[in-house]
Structure 1
């Protein structure tokens, strides 16, 4: 096992960042220092399989340097090329959760499009006694309820495999705006603690209601309204990944058994719905806007285009033809706020946020009698990145990169509590 003591004697928590994007985890963690201890990224990997251009990796290297950065398919990276580390972090792409197949398969477990979750599993398994003590992961919240025909199966596979590798797991769905951040971005965050660590021991010994209410790392970083014991559901997960793949939750597939908050230890999980209990300051869209005199003309919407934007943002019923059957059907959608209120947190940034073409989902604000789109630097600030972090590619690509990014403030809060807990355990 990777030693907390060895790492902290050197006043650093050795960290690797997988599926690094433009470095959101790194930015959040490297801000933190506690009792002369800090996080140090000792290796990173970012590779985009769909394109020849590697914009995210290029930005990463421009900001942090090329040393110890890998821009190749993680599945081709030999385990000996990945240094030993205390903490593994990553926002693994959401299309690759499963599927487990027959154990006769050479890998035992395969995925649909690159098995990226299973690459994390591979690293943990092949590192053996040098596997990291801690994991910090991020994904879209639908991970807890995918796929549609077996709600929760993909997350069950993750929990089962982590349990087999000797980890306890906490998870929480967090909407960043509910804790004072400027964007309504809801994601599931996952923390795992290896057997033998102080955090693993705390979960093993504490009451479930206390872990979810106060003692767990999520409860300390992101407080919730107090839960009662009868609000917490519990069940067990086996270690047979093939059985989970084939039969998990088939009988009750309309609902996932995994709610917004929970933890798992020794194959038993506890979960509940939760509500945020935040009493600090709030940031809104208006807090990230640049001065209007610094906005280029290309971001303003002229009168001839405004009608298109208004139509796309409004409610409508359209006739469409099914590609599979050829039958005509009616498609309806409700209206969206137009323009977006600057006195509230922004909506979730999407990858298609950039470009001048009218869109239902892009942000549009109304300032001084003019309508305009958001600038890349404003999108960066909504994710709490440094200004102009993605400078060096087109504005459209900068928006795309922010649509794929996370809210740095969430990572910073989790990192602060984790480093305190690691320190308290020595």
Structure 2
């Protein structure tokens, strides 16, 4: 660390509008100091998330608006690397004189390059929950590659799939959080000693990074047997890419190359925020309301249906989908927001306006509140459609605030 835990240097990758930074600064703004950030939306002329980030953090933004793979040399020394990255094809191949290479454009390899260059003490990443199962034809390979990369660089890793609503937040959003810590940290010394006397299960349910902030039942799953593997059985990344397959559950730990994963159940008994808690109680612009002649269209989109379709190969099959509540109940958490939120789309929320009793879409401000941002966070000249898009890509800020508290404890 730069000096002590009162000065934690943070690098934020794929920063969006600053979800990680907002959460960490809410936890301890005087401790977590973002020294460099990167935000680049491929193919988008406006680069709206970057502009919002720069507007909100001003002269201290330190945000670079370029493809991360082209600016890795700019990344400074830091203590904590954070970022939310997409689930892509992480497979690798041997390329002769060049050694081992991943596919071009896959963002994990940029993260890996930064880790190998700077070796931050701590890494906190976010991804979709399907990361643990991808790809379909070789389940677990992609996450296995990530674990192998971090193991080779001297890290232990813990992960948890967290549904924000199961811990009191407004949105039912399931995301995989990956926490890695270097073999030079106090946390690594703790897990080393812990594994000599306790075990992986106890670490995950009692003393690991996620256990206190996101409590789980201290009992084994009655139907799903824990996965136990050893990365030392794989010669290199190419071997992992070609041969590795595993069932990863929603919680796990990798220490000294040994992988342990188990399905755990949330055990949260605190207050629960609901969709109705963030709905505006003031007049809303008419453009958000659904007219009477549009109701039938929305009911069809939201309803269950079976549709006969034909594949590219000419095979006929039946596509079916279940019903979605219409309107969305205000006495429950919101569903997962997607980037298409705000459009006439099956996945978009439709609520009953509190003042008029009429159906309407969510406003951008309400979407910000669902993710735990301040109201109006993206109101920085960003086009309204892009404000929805940005929130559909964002993480749930209060989760990061809790993780920040745990980081302060273990540093």
TM range (shorter): over 0.9
- RMSD of aligned Cα (Å): 1.7
Q: Secondary structure at the match of 2:272?
A: coil
Take 1:138 and 1:296, find their aligned partners in 2: how far apart are those partners?
Answer: 35
Deviation at 1:208, TM superposition (A): 1.4
The question of whether the paired residues in 1 share the 8 Å contact of 2:161 and 2:174 is answered with yes
The question of whether the paired residues in 2 share the 8 Å contact of 1:7 and 1:14 is answered with no
1:189 aligns with 2:177: yes
1:421 aligns with 2:410: yes
Deviating more after overlay: 379-388 vs 66-75: 66-75
Aligned to 1:73: 67
Residue by residue over 1:263-286, the C-alpha shift from the partner in whole angstroms, topping out at 9 and shown as x without a partner, is 101110111101111121110000
- Tell me, which stretches of 5 or more residues in structure 2 are unaligned? none
Aligned to 2:299: 310
Residue by residue over 1:174-193, the C-alpha shift from the partner in whole angstroms, topping out at 9 and shown as x without a partner, is 00000000000000000000
Take 1:276 and 1:46, find their aligned partners in 2: how far apart are those partners?
Answer: 33
Q: Secondary structure at the match of 2:4?
A: helix
1:51 aligns with 2:51: no
> Which of residues 88, 102, 109 is equivalent to 1:118?
109
Q: Secondary structure at the match of 1:58?
A: helix
* 1:5-154 superposed matches below 5 A: 6-8=2-4, 11-33=6-28, 38-65=31-58, 67-79=61-73, 81-95=74-88, 97-104=89-96, 106=98, 108-111=100-103, 114-127=105-118, 131-154=119-142
Take 1:280 and 1:316, find their aligned partners in 2: how far apart are those partners?
Answer: 37
* 1:371-390 superposed matches below 5 A: 371-390=359-378
Residue by residue over 1:144-172, the C-alpha shift from the partner in whole angstroms, topping out at 9 and shown as x without a partner, is 00000000000000000100000000000
Q: Secondary structure at the match of 2:241?
A: helix
Provide closer, same or farther for how the CA distance between residues 305 and 213 of structure 1 changes in structure 2, counting only shifts above 3 A: same
Aligned structure 1 segments of 4 or more residues deviating by more than 3 angstroms: 228-233, 326-329
> Which of residues 156, 162, 169 is equivalent to 1:168?
156
The question of whether the paired residues in 2 share the 8 Å contact of 1:159 and 1:264 is answered with yes
Deviating more after overlay: 230-239 vs 140-149: 230-239
1:226 aligns with 2:218: yes
Q: Secondary structure at the match of 1:219?
A: coil
TM-score (norm 2): 0.93
Aligned residues: 399
Take 2:332 and 2:205, find their aligned partners in 1: how far apart are those partners?
Answer: 28
The question of whether the paired residues in 2 share the 8 Å contact of 1:134 and 1:192 is answered with yes
> Which of residues 248, 260, 265 is equivalent to 1:258?
248
Take 2:26 and 2:282, find their aligned partners in 1: how far apart are those partners?
Answer: 30
TM-score (norm 1): 0.90
The question of whether the paired residues in 2 share the 8 Å contact of 1:179 and 1:278 is answered with yes
Take 1:223 and 1:20, find their aligned partners in 2: how far apart are those partners?
Answer: 28
Aligned to 1:202: 190
Aligned to 1:253: none
Q: Secondary structure at the match of 1:227?
A: coil
Deviation at 1:52, TM superposition (A): 2.2
Aligned to 1:359: 345
Provide closer, same or farther for how the CA distance between residues 321 and 232 of structure 1 changes in structure 2, counting only shifts above 3 A: closer
Residue by residue over 1:232-256, the C-alpha shift from the partner in whole angstroms, topping out at 9 and shown as x without a partner, is 432112351101111212xxxxxx4
Deviation at 1:31, TM superposition (A): 1.0
Deviation at 1:59, TM superposition (A): 0.7
The question of whether the paired residues in 1 share the 8 Å contact of 2:27 and 2:402 is answered with no
Take 1:308 and 1:174, find their aligned partners in 2: how far apart are those partners?
Answer: 34
Q: Secondary structure at the match of 1:109?
A: strand
> Which of residues 322, 331, 334 is equivalent to 1:334?
322
Aligned to 1:403: 392
Provide closer, same or farther for how the CA distance between residues 126 and 104 of structure 1 changes in structure 2, counting only shifts above 3 A: farther
Residue by residue over 1:192-214, the C-alpha shift from the partner in whole angstroms, topping out at 9 and shown as x without a partner, is 00002111111122121221111
Provide closer, same or farther for how the CA distance between residues 232 and 205 of structure 1 changes in structure 2, counting only shifts above 3 A: farther
Provide closer, same or farther for how the CA distance between residues 397 and 78 of structure 1 changes in structure 2, counting only shifts above 3 A: closer
Take 2:151 and 2:221, find their aligned partners in 1: how far apart are those partners?
Answer: 24
Q: Secondary structure at the match of 1:414?
A: helix
Residue by residue over 1:16-52, the C-alpha shift from the partner in whole angstroms, topping out at 9 and shown as x without a partner, is 0001011000000011239xx6101010000111222
> Which of residues 238, 242, 246 is equivalent to 1:246?
242
